[in-house]
Amino acid sequence: MLDALPVVGLLGMPAWGARAMQLLQAGGFAPVVYARTVRWLEALLDHYPALLLVDATQPAWTDWVTAIKTEQATRRIPVLVVAQGREVEGAARERGAAELLLLADLDRALVERAQALAWRMDSATRALLHCQCAQPLPPLGQLGVQRFNAGEYYAQHDAFEAQWMAESGPVRELYRAILQVGVAYHHLTHGNHAGALRMLQRSVQWFAQLPNVCQGVDVRQLREDAQRVRHALQAMPPEEIASFDRSLLRPIRLVTVL
């Protein structure tokens, strides 16, 4: 996902949505429309947008911004509120929005503000991450993978937490992403539906910063595996957690680092 076009989400499809999508595509972004369904907040996690546009003409817009900025899994997503006038600017700021964009300035300023606000790595951090990802997985990370693949989901936490604490570079998010998926699987195998779902939701933000392969870990497969587990959990009643298909809890795949 690191090398993909940054996603900019539109919550619902406002009257200005089609024009915004044209501008964003021309500006090097991948616009995605999120329907305002009961589970719209969960839908954000399938792409983890680098920026979210919210239409301030909708009565519930303040609730949407508050939900995004108070949920731990989504609070890092910057929110740009699009409004007819500046009378809502204070309310937008109070609820955690990054900025307000006047609808009259959409053509002139949308792409510029998207480039400035989108949550993504700067070029120096991106270069460092690529360099670190080309290195082999360190010993503590190898131990964590061994424990994860053995189904020792609680024990893998200690290894990856120690490796995460020992690393100051951006590759540390690899260890945090794996750690949180492993903790989710631990909760799942112990009947804790809410805990498993919460940890899988929180892990998405760290996967969003990683390339498809990092330090020999097939990040893309793990990300897709975790997403399948998350979708299955979201679809099942919590009281049926004991019947969860544990074949979905696949091991981490390692590939050769060239």
Please say whether the beta carbons of 157 and 182 come within 8 A.
Answer: yes
Distances (CA, A) of 23 to 112, 117, 140, 168, 228: 10, 16, 46, 37, 32
Pick from 113-117, 249-253, 254-258: least confident: 254-258
In the chain, what percentage of residues exceed pLDDT 90?
A: 87
Distances (CA, A) of 188 to 65, 73, 184, 199, 239: 30, 18, 6, 10, 12
How does residue 51 score in pLDDT terms, banded at 50, 70 and 90? very high
User: Could you say which of 3.40.50.300, 3.40.50.2300, 3.40.50.150, 3.60.21.10 is the CATH number of the domain covering 7-120?
Assistant: 3.40.50.2300
Please, what's the largest Cα pairwise distance for the chain?
57
Please say whether the beta carbons of 230 and 150 come within 8 A.
Answer: no
- Structure confidence at residue 38 (pLDDT): 65
Q: Where along the chain do its domains lie?
A: 7-120, 125-248
What pLDDT, in 10s, does the model give residues 81-119? 999 999 999 999 999 999 999 999 999 999 999 999 998
- Structure confidence at residue 116 (pLDDT): 95
What pLDDT, in 10s, does the model give residues 111-165? 999 999 998 888 999 999 999 999 999 999 999 999 999 999 999 999 999 999 9
pTM to 2 decimals? Answer: 0.90
> In this structure, what are the phi and psi dihedrals at residue 9, rounded to the nearest 5 degrees?
-95, 145
Long-range residue pairs from 68-72, CB within 8 A, at least 24 positions apart, any chain:
68/41, 68/44, 68/96, 69/95, 69/96, 69/97, 70/96, 71/41, 72/202
What pLDDT, in 10s, does the model give residues 8-43? 999 888 999 999 999 999 999 999 999 877 688 888
- Structure confidence at residue 40 (pLDDT): 84
Please say whether the beta carbons of 81 and 92 come within 8 A.
Answer: yes
**Domain spanning 125-248, CATH architecture:** Orthogonal Bundle (1.10)
User: How many other CB atoms are found less than 10 A from the CB of residue 141?
Assistant: 23
Shortest CA distance to 213 belongs to which of 169, 163, 170, 255? 255
